[in-house]
Amino acid sequence: MSLGGVLDGLDLERVGRDMHDLMKDLFPMCRSITGDGFRETLATIEKRVPIDVHEVPTGTPAFDWTVPKEWNVREAYVANGRGERVIDLRRSSLHLVSYSTPVRRAMSLSDLRAHLHTLPERPDWIPYRTSYYEPEWGFCLSERQLSALDEAEYHVVVDSSLEDGSLTYGEYFLEGDTDEEVLISCHACHPSMANDNLSGVALVTFLAERIAEASPRYSYRFLFVPGTIGSITWLSMNEDVVPRIRHGLVAACVGDPGPLTYQRSQRGDADIDRAAAHVVGRRGGRVREFSPYGYDERQYNSPGFNLPVGCLSRTPHGEFAEYHTSADGLDFVRPDALADSLEAYLEVFTALEENGTFANLFPKGEPQLGRRGLYPSIGGKEADAEVLAMLWVLNQSDGNRTLLDIADRAGIDFRSIRRAASSLLAAGLLRAVLDSSST
């Protein structure tokens, strides 16, 4: 089956529910950039997609970086004089600053305060904080929780370990007809937050499943990596793969109800930029220029690689109030938005897979469509749209313009233009032109 066929058969309601269910399973896990929470996450994804799990030892150099020590935590809490846990990692994985060093001691509230993080302007929300590269410990809690604490002695326990171990990442390589590759990457290192980043993890998992149902022209490589250090490590270990990457997308924040947002690659005019801008524009979304700040597209677009990798999200990082807080919960992410994002991703890759260049074999006057069964004898709205798409393809197919060029010019969905070209090709009105520009 073609990718377009998979796209046509997508049951949006069901797939949105299933994506949300996967997020529910992943939500409680205490993830960080290394450690067992990340491994548990990959083990859950592996039930759906046959990913390879890679372990890269602590201390491995990765360009200007080094794979850090592995962090794991067994328990972390603050208990009052009566032994009641007033802050407890078991209630939310956000309660502990990620990569907190071990602690076990009694402290007054005033001393403890220096290690407590709240969001005074959002008194019910717990913030998300990390300290990957500075040895530090701390707890995150709601402002309301903090104001309920008495000035007294507290017992603080962070039973964590920072040891030589490894950085873990997941990779699924799906072989297509050619060895030209599409890279799809998501960060999977955040603890209990839904839009950033579990929506991206669910999207890449379900996208991989769907593309595996097709017989794609491109080979596809799906990465589940810890943010920044994970993509840098992957790049440093795969410099031989990099020249085969033709197109790529970074998936993040794809489950909120906001409109789609596409951020272009650094090049700005790569095929992925054209295809994604077309799809996102047709779906009422926004297209933005490249920025060197964001997710792992920063690494893929660094000047030493300059890969054609964009970022397709809904509301981007930092632009929704719930970002990096406990309010980015499972309720914030909607099954219909997840399904809509998945459909948009599939449309983008269908446009890349099925784009082509054709020449009209009857360029003098319009060829007679009715005689070839292409012009409906009884007019109707839908048929009119089909005929219009065929007329655009006939008019514009000069052997140079691609179907995506025509779709943009006509203001018609790529899928409709592709269908029109298939009908015209079958009727002998078009000739495929070998495309040498897609290298």
Strand pairing class (65-66; 61-62): antiparallel
* Beta-carbon contacts of residue 392 (< 8 Å; ≥ 6 apart): 406, 409, 410, 412, 417, 420
Say whether residue 256 binds Zn ion (CB under 5 A).
no
We find the least distance from the C-beta atom of residue 66 to Zn ion, in angstroms, to be 22
| Dist CA 170 CA 223 (whole Å) | 6
Going residue by residue from 195 to 234, which x/- string records binding to Zn ion, judged by CB under 5 A?
-x--------------------------------------
H or E stretch covering 87: strand 85-88
Residues 119-178 that bind Zn ion (CB under 5 A): none
CB 266 within 8 A of CB 338: no
| Dist CA 380 CA 382 (whole Å) | 6
We find the least distance from the C-beta atom of residue 98 to Zn ion, in angstroms, to be 11
Residues 181-200 that bind Zn ion (CB under 5 A): 196
Identify which of residues 181 and 196 has a Cβ nearer to Zn ion in the complex: 196
We find the least distance from the C-beta atom of residue 431 to Zn ion, in angstroms, to be 49
We find the least distance from the C-beta atom of residue 132 to Zn ion, in angstroms, to be 13
What are the structure tokens assigned to 196, written together?
């950033």
Identify which of residues 18 and 196 has a Cβ nearer to Zn ion in the complex: 196
Identify which of residues 128 and 218 has a Cβ nearer to Zn ion in the complex: 128
Identify which of residues 138 and 227 has a Cβ nearer to Zn ion in the complex: 227
| Dist CA 102 CA 154 (whole Å) | 16
We find the least distance from the C-beta atom of residue 187 to Zn ion, in angstroms, to be 7
We find the least distance from the C-beta atom of residue 189 to Zn ion, in angstroms, to be 8
Identify which of residues 196 and 340 has a Cβ nearer to Zn ion in the complex: 196
Q: Cis (ω within 30 of 0) for the bond into 360? A: no
Identify which of residues 77 and 224 has a Cβ nearer to Zn ion in the complex: 224
Residue 222 in 3-state DSSP? Answer: strand
CB 137 within 8 A of CB 97: yes
We find the least distance from the C-beta atom of residue 129 to Zn ion, in angstroms, to be 11
User: What residue number has its CB nearest to Zn ion?
Assistant: 196
Query: Which residues share a beta bridge with 225?
Result: 187
Identify which of residues 196 and 354 has a Cβ nearer to Zn ion in the complex: 196
Phi, psi of 156 (to 5 degrees): -110, 130
What are the structure tokens assigned to 169, written together?
């990442």
Determine the residue type at 373.
Answer: G
SS (H, E, C) 112-137: HHHHEECCCCCCCCCECCECCCCCCC
Q: Binding-site residue total for Zn ion (CB under 5 A)?
A: 1
Going residue by residue from 41 to 70, which x/- string records binding to Zn ion, judged by CB under 5 A?
------------------------------
* Tally of residues, the chain: 439
Identify which of residues 196 and 353 has a Cβ nearer to Zn ion in the complex: 196
Identify which of residues 36 and 196 has a Cβ nearer to Zn ion in the complex: 196
Say whether residue 328 binds Zn ion (CB under 5 A).
no
We find the least distance from the C-beta atom of residue 324 to Zn ion, in angstroms, to be 6
We find the least distance from the C-beta atom of residue 436 to Zn ion, in angstroms, to be 41
Catalogue the E-assigned strands of 279-387: 286-288, 309-313, 357-360
CA-based end-to-end distance of the chain: 24
Interface with Zn ion (CB under 5 A): 196
